[in-house]
Amino acid sequence: MGIESSAEITRIVKEKWDKSKDKADWRVLSGRNYKGRYDMFISSPERIWQLKVEQTGSNEATGFGMEVGKIDDEIRELMKIGAPVPFGLISSQKDDLAIIMAGIQQYSSDTTHTFCTDYVSDAQAKLDEKLDREIARMSSDPVFRRRYREQRERESRSYL
């Protein structure tokens, strides 16, 4: 499986979740990279997927993902590192209104960076390039450009 839209990866993960008998063994790990994009890793007892998402508006995001591969004991342990925080993901779908995922995730930008560089580094450049091209394509719309610029300004503000 190659790079897919985040909506397609979310649909695939939901299908696997629905069929899973070991739901307690599923994990979510996320963090932000140096570009301000979110890297989210979702693992089942057998497989792991990655979503790379960038906020493009206050309630909007665009992203892509891929199946990383099989999970082993080392990856299973990495998925437990980080601070437990709530997460939520709403993914619009073609056939359904949306898939809503929510729960507790581990949050660690350091651990997601380790995943990206040590485990799936070959595909990271491709995911980033795909996301860069999509944002450039969407930037031809003046309304999108304004919302995207406002979002980037909100993210750069200090809240202290």
Phi, psi of 97 (to 5 degrees): -65, -50
State the helix-helix crossing angle for 121-138 and 142-156, rounded to 10 degrees: 130
Q: Coil, strand, or helix at residue 115?
A: helix
Q: What is the pLDDT of residue 54?
A: 77
H or E element in which residue 147 lies? helix 142-156
Band (157; pLDDT cuts 50, 70, 90): low
Mean per-residue pLDDT for 3-30? Answer: 89
Residue 125 token pair: 């450049």
Q: Whole-model pTM?
A: 0.79
Beta strand pairing status for 98-107 and 27-32? parallel
Mean pLDDT of the chain: 82
Q: Does residue 148 carry a pLDDT above 80?
A: no
> Has residue 125 got a pLDDT over 60?
yes
Burial of 127 (0-12, 13-18, 19+ CB in 10 A): buried
Contact criterion met (CB below 8 Å) for 6 and 66: no
* pLDDT above 90: percentage of residues in the chain: 22
Residue spans of the domains in the chain: they are: 4-154
Digit-coded pLDDT (tens) for 57-87:
666 677 788 888 888 898 889 899 999 998 8
pLDDT bin (cut points 50, 70, 90) of residue 27 is very high
